Chains A and B, each alone.
Chain A
């Protein structure tokens, strides 16, 4: 009886998994029946179960709207830019912090760098306006006093992308370092000492010791980021965006909020959500597969 031997040996592991799996089944799969809204003409008072089936009609309607494609394009565009700019930022910052020699300065700057994460987007919105505004923003005041033309950081769509990215880096880079710093504690200090004895420069040490030590973390985060390519938070594009740059700032989440949730059209919101989920799942599984082939790291 190989099965019983196996179970006798590993029952503890299964026992550990009972509660977590129960959690996922009750709290995550439990409400999953709500997904059927996507195929129904949702009526508030007949409830999800009682509403009338409409098949794929809602999908057809969503896929026919111009705004859906505009917001889909923007979501992918902003996320790709974030992947290029905002994804490496905490990694670079963490390495820079790791290289600091003054312990107190390191601790202090770490603590300050993560403050922006705690400032809510409503407040950030007001500050962004004061900093980047065309008429009275701080940066433009400086530019104009130096004799340059003012830059419409918030009202011209291409300049707006810079503002969007800069705000993202500012808000999340410091916070993102925490995980890398935790990973860096796992690197054997003796490796650095040995490298120094061998006469390896700073960049060499970073390249050959620090980065390999962070490889697993980087790959894990990268796979998850790729899975989230089509998902996008609501607040950042909503708060940083404005009517002048809606052509770039309008993304799936703001679109769903506006046309779905605000006007009680849960069917439409669920259709878009389902679409995002399927694409996201395909992306993450694809990224996982590719990563396994290329780097031998994977999350499954």
Chain B
């Protein structure tokens, strides 16, 4: 078999496999979209799969006319931007010195950081700390406790380590300071991983709500995911609600309203990645070495 033919077979099989997986990944999302446009009867009768049944825009009308949803969206965007920027800055600043093998105490620093991946004080002391710092019911309670993820820090360090040392040495001989080297040599070469980790931080913040359950009781500081969680999760935990008795249960959101809220809360963060893909250009490193 010729080289070209086997290449073509490889490509074809590859495209087919990826297309199949793409479909599997997309189908549930389409299913949720279909539910959001369908009538409650059709949804609860299990008639909706990939296409809306008894098409209706009612769910979206309710979501979009709910001021608190819109406000939540705004707050979540600000929160996510702030978190991402701060986390990324701190992670970069921590990672760079820790790539320097000659830095005294490096192993010790690494060790105390890695320990925090496994040991934690538990929610009660963490809550007390946030309370004592007067952060309860502020945006900072959602930003500061998770500033640096040791996991992402390790990844960033390993990427920094992959940059040829000759580049840094050259800069140092030129008399550039260490901070200067970091800003001018290391960071520009690391845009793909910085974009990746920013995405990780952003998505983590966007999707996270467990901390808000504890630290926030002001409704104007409710992130979107918390509202979504309440819509989707409430009244589903019947262990809890069974003792309320039927007379106490407040009518819960319809399935299509839940689905529309899911879409409303997911789409904004979904479009971040396509936008970030521009930083995933191959050959950044190559250009730098040559330049």
B72 to chain A, nearest CB (A): 16
Distance to closest chain B CB from A224 (angstroms): 6
Complex CA gap A95/B159 in Å reads: 18
| Cross-chain contact of A32 among B19, B110, B119, B229 (Cβ < 8 A) | B119
- B124, CB-defined interface residue at 8 Å: yes
Partner of B112, one of A24, A201, A270: A24
Chain B interface residue count, Cβ-Cβ cutoff 8 angstroms: 94
Q: Which of A28, A170, A266 contacts B124 (CB 8 A)?
A: A266
Contacts A24-B112, A299-B158 supplied; 6 other A-B pairs, CB < 8 Å: A12-B178, A16-B93, A20-B90, A21-B94, A183-B192, A186-B192
Q: How far apart sit A299 and B111, CA to CA, in the bound complex (Å)? A: 10
Report chain B residues within 8 Å CB of A220.
Answer: 154-155, 158
Q: Which one of B7-15, B55-63, B75-83 contacts A?
A: B7-15
Interface string of B15-29 (1 = CB under 8 A from A): 101110110111011
Judged by a CB distance under 8 angstroms, whether A157 is at the interface is: no
Chain A residues with Cβ below 8 Å from B117 are 227, 280, 284
- Contact partners of A109 in chain B: CB under 8 A: 18-19, 22
- Interface residues in A7-46 by Cβ distance below 8 A to B read 10, 12-14, 16-17, 19-21, 23-24, 26-35, 37
Taking a contact as CB atoms under 8 Å apart, the answer to whether A14 and B97 are in contact is: yes
A window 252-300: CB within 8 A of B: 266, 269-270, 273-274, 276-278, 280-281, 284, 297, 299-300
| B260 vs chain A, min Cβ distance (A) | 13
Contact A16 B96 (CB under 8 A): yes
Q: Which of A201-215 contact B (CB under 8 A)?
A: 201-202
Would you give the shortest CB distance from B44 to chain A, in whole angstroms?
Answer: 12
Q: Please state if A300 and B116 are interface contacts (CB–CB under 8 Å).
A: no
- Decide yes or no whether A110 CB sits under 8 A from chain B: yes
A185 contacts B280, CB within 8 Å?
yes
Contact A28 B31, CB 8 Å, known A109-B22, A188-B286: no
A69 at the interface (CB under 8 A from B): no
Closest 4 CB pairs of A and B: A31-B121, A34-B125, A34-B121, A20-B94
Q: Across the interface, which residues of A come within 8 angstroms of B114, CB to CB?
A: 281, 284, 299-300
When C-beta atoms are compared, the residue in chain B nearest to A113 turns out to be B25
A interface footprint on B121-154 (CB within 8 Å = 1, 0 otherwise): 1101110110000000000000011011001001
Task: Report the stretch among A54-62, A79-87, A121-129, A145-153 that lies at the interface.
Answer: A121-129
Q: Which residues of A contact B262 (CB under 8 A)?
A: 119-120, 123
Q: Is the C-beta of B257 less than 8 angstroms from some C-beta in chain A? A: no
* Chain B residues near A270 (CB-CB < 8 A): 122
- 30 A-B residue contacts at CB 8 Å? A17-B97, A20-B91, A29-B116, A31-B122, A31-B125, A37-B124, A99-B11, A107-B274, A108-B22, A109-B19, A110-B277, A111-B273, A114-B25, A115-B270, A118-B270, A120-B262, A122-B236, A170-B24, A174-B21, A178-B273, A186-B162, A187-B282, A189-B283, A216-B162, A266-B124, A270-B122, A274-B119, A280-B118, A299-B154, A300-B110
